[in-house]
Amino acid sequence: MTTVAPTRWTRPHDTARRAGVEAALTDLYDQVAAGSLVAGPAGHALAPGVVGRAAERVWPGGTPLRGLTGVATVPLPAPVRDADLLAVRGLPAPQAAGWEPYRTWLLGLAWLRLGVSAGLLDRARAHLAGRRAADGPLLRQQLVQATLAEAVTDQLTVRALLTDADPDAGPDAVLVQAHHQLTTSDHALLPVLGATGFTEDGPGRAVYLSHLLADVYLPVRHDVPVPA
Amino acid sequence: MPDLDDRLRLLRRHARGWAAELRPYALELDRDPDVVLRLLAAPAVTHAAHLQIPAAFNPAPLVLAGERFHLTAALERVVFCEEIAHGDLGMMLALPGASMSGVLVAAIGDRAQQEWFYGRLLDRPTWTFFALTEPGGGTDAGGLRTRATALPDGSGWSLTGRKRYISNALRASVGVVFHRTADGPLGLAAALVETSATGFAAAPVPTLGVRGAQLGALTLDAVPVDAGQILGRHLSPVRRGGWGWQRTFNLLRPTVAAMAVGLAQAACDHVREHRRALRPDERDALARVEGEIEAVRRLTRRAAVEVDSDSGSGHLASAAKLRATRLAADVTRWALRSFGPGARLDQPLLDKFARDAGALEYMEGTGNVQRLAVAAALDRGAFDGYPSATVPPTAAGV
């Protein structure tokens, strides 16, 4: 499998597509915020377990974790409670100066999440190829084909945006919109997998984790500073 | 008849109170499906366990202010299920009682089968299963592969096959297994099966949402079935097969839509309760969401009235299920967004609601199944005010 992700984001994208969210998130942390917990706009963090337990600082900003008050781990939602992830709240959120590096995190996270979405499409196509309805293969039904076409078009749109995105420029709102487009697109695509996509250990798990990451790290649009 | 009469308002008011008692256990049930076993004395659980039983078989229906309720009519079920799902959809689907199997038994069971099945339910809190879906085949009844093979001595059949995504599979003691006795539409049948039967096994299939329903996979390995267990043995093969099943599904579909409406209303109410200082644009959004919920609620009630009047008329129920499923998904996600970043961690109930909404897509026919049903109904002129399609001949056909 090849990807057109810029070299820097190839690993989180491809790992997310093939191996799962936890491993891809480890790659992303290694690249952007090694040794730290990445705090979202409301002071939450979601990190691979090993990374999170070893973290000493908060990224961006570099505030030492030791001595911070009000920081608490949060139980993971029931279907992913066994995931090797650490959820935290009460961290200092990125302040004005922190938004510049935070844009890089959002960009890398978008590539990771695009990998999850591409993996979902891979799984959906493989699933449908082996399924038949009364009138032929499910993969050839127009309603199903329309859903797949919409999904790949959404992903190509986001990919085009991210490929050309310069981490040092460009409106953040566009990047946030790309994340939202991935979320919406996943929700539209998942049903073609049938209930297989709803099981705790099926393809819906990675999608749920992707949406959990978006929930923690996406600023609400009006919080995004307009670039000078 | 979108507005409820006094009798149904009475039912709604009581059901709302019973549902509120279940809400505190919603997240606990999400983590541990056995929590429902501790709630057998709760009114919602007790009533669900003893309702949806036809008057002829239920000497002790629900009585409220002198009014008797059996919950055998779709409109009554819609009112009751919306409110219980408003308390918690996971709990709604974890309740003991006749549930979906009860509707099928009422539709095509003979008197002895009905007496036996409903008698079991009245005896003690009893969970039932409704085993239609198969791995690889979805809910397509025509594609059923579970098969009953006649025993050589003529004493009955041997039932073999696999089922998947069956609610309450592990806690049920009796239910119906959809299968075929022969190829073709006349070979479809449904049998009453006890989970204690030889060759019957159930294993959990943990899910992302409605985890309280404890979905499971069933394996049937030469389960013995006698003639008395074949539902509708007194009916023609068509009536006890596809024809009877379609009517049952039509009766059930508004109930699924009502659960979606209840879930959407629960998410909306959570926003109203926990986000008191709304900006003007957020107040607008809330008002719009409430309008959307009310519209789908009314469509759902109309669908229930229609199937109560003619159980063969399920097209409005398809429209209601299609729209209600999208409503629940949209409203639960909107509710999460309204709390800003980290809402899934800070508002675990809303996170659960959004996960639960995902289940509705797979209950009683997927979105695409409903879209095709609605399109077919539009084509044949089934919707009031919309004439049947007149397709002009193509050039090739002239």
pLDDT per residue as tens digits for the range B31-54: 999 999 999 999 989 988 999 999
What's the rounded Cα separation, in Å, for the pair B279 and B285? 10
Residue A172 in any domain: the answer is yes
Distances (CA, A) of B258 to B19, B97, B200, B218, B323: 14, 18, 33, 28, 11
Q: Which residues of B touch A38 (CB under 8 A)?
A: none
B220 and B247 share a domain? Answer: no
What pLDDT digit, counting tens, does each position of A183-213 carry?
999 999 999 999 999 999 999 999 999 999 9
Closest by CA position to A211, among listed B229, B55, B385, B358: B358
Does some domain include residue B252?
Answer: yes
Contacts of B288 (CB under 8 A, 6+ apart): none
Same domain, B19 and B56: yes
Domains in chain A, number: 2
Would you say residue B141 has pLDDT above 80?
A: no
**Residue B29 shares a structural domain with residue B158:** no
- Does residue B101 belong to any structural domain of this protein? yes
Phi and psi at B203, nearest 5°, equal -135, 145
What residues of chain B lie within 8 A of the CB of A217, using their CB? 341
Q: Could you tell me if A54 and A127 lie in one domain?
A: no
B220, B132: one domain: yes
Say yes or no: B323 and B197 in one domain.
Answer: no
Burial (0-12, 13-18, 19+ Cβ within 10 Å), B338:
buried
Integer angstrom CA distances of residue A98 from A38, A224, B136: 11, 12, 50
Q: Which domain does B181 fall in, by range?
A: 128-236
pLDDT more than 90, % of chain B: 88
Residues B224 and B303 in one domain: no
* Position B1 pLDDT exceeds 60: no
Give the count of domains, chain B: 3
- Residue in B143, B346, B366 nearest the CB of A191: B366
Lookup: tokens for B340? 């800003």
Is the distance from CB of A154 to CB of A118 less than 8 angstroms?
A: no
- Judgement on whether residues B170 and B259 belong to the same structural domain of the protein: no
Between chains, do B342 and A212 touch, taking CB under 8 Å as contact? no
B156 touches chain A (CB under 8 A): no
Q: Is B398 part of any domain?
A: no
Evaluate whether residue A11 is within a structural domain: no
- Helix axis angle for A142-163 and B367-379, nearest 10°, is 130
Coil, strand, or helix at residue B180?
Answer: strand
Closest CA of chain A from B215, distance in Å: 9
A90 vs B: CB within 8 A: no
Domain boundary among A69, A96, A123: A96
Which domain does A179 fall in, by range? Answer: 98-217
Does position A228 have pLDDT exceeding 60, yes or no? Answer: no
Residues B147 and B112 placed together within one structural domain of the fold? no
Same domain membership, residue A173 and residue A117: yes
Which token pair is A9? 């984001």
- Any domain includes B389: no
B257 in the same domain as B153: no
- CB of A73 within 8 Å of any CB in chain B? no
pLDDT of residue B277: 87
Domain ends where: A96, A118, A141?
A: A96
Same-domain status, B255 and B367: yes
Residues of chain B in contact with residue A44, where contact means CB-CB under 8 angstroms, are 341-342, 345-346
* CA distances to A44, A80, B337 from A87, in Å: 7, 11, 19
Q: Which of chain A's residues have a Cβ under 8 Å away from the Cβ of B164? A: 195
pTM of the model: 0.95
Query: Taking CB atoms and an 8 Å cutoff, what residues of chain A touch B372?
Result: 143
- Would you say residue B257 lies in a domain? yes
Query: What is the structure's pLDDT at B138?
Result: 62
Position B232 in a domain: yes
- pLDDT of amino acid B317: 98
Angle at the Cα of A17 (from A16 to A20), degrees rounded to 5?
45
Cβ A122 vs Cβ A17: under 8 Å:
yes
Locate B166 and state its tokens.
């069956």
- Does B346 contact chain A (CB < 8 Å)? yes
Q: Are residues A73 and A104 in the same domain?
A: no
Q: Are residues A137 and A64 in the same domain?
A: no
Q: How far is A191 from chain B (nearest CA, A)?
A: 7
pLDDT at A169 over 60: no
Q: Indicate if B142 and B270 belong to the same structural domain.
A: no
Encoded tokens for B285:
């959004």
Considering only residues B173 and B3, tell me which one the structure prediction assigns the higher pLDDT: B173
Same domain, B73 and B12: yes
Give the CATH number of the domain where residue B10 resides.
1.10.540
Last residue of a domain, one of B203, B236, B269: B236
A107 and A152 co-located in one domain: yes
A162 and A205 share one domain: yes
Residue where a domain terminates, one of A42, A77, A96: A96
Residue A177 in any domain: the answer is yes
Q: Specify the CATH number for the domain of residue A180.
A: 1.20.140.10
- For residues A82 and A106, membership in a common domain is answered with no
At which of B236, B271, B293 does a domain end? B236
3-state secondary structure A55-90: CCEEECCCEECCCCCCCEECCCCHHHCCCCEEEEEC
In sequence order, which ranges of B172-241 are alpha helices (DSSP H)?
237-240
State which residue of chain B sits closest to A91, comparing Cα positions: B342
Contact B373, B365 (CB under 8 A): yes
pLDDT digits (tens, 9 = 90+) for B336-354: 999 999 999 999 999 999 9
Minimum distance, in Å, between the CA of residue B325 and any CA atom of chain A: 12
- A9 inside domain: no
Residues A79, A127, single domain; the answer is no
Q: Look at the block and give the residue holding tokens 């209600």.
A: B324
B residues 93..152 contacting A (CB < 8 A): 133, 136, 138, 140, 142-143
Mean pLDDT of the residues in chain B: 94
Instruction: Determine contact, residues B204/B230, Cβ cutoff 8 Å.
Output: no
Q: Indicate whether B355 pLDDT > 50.
A: yes
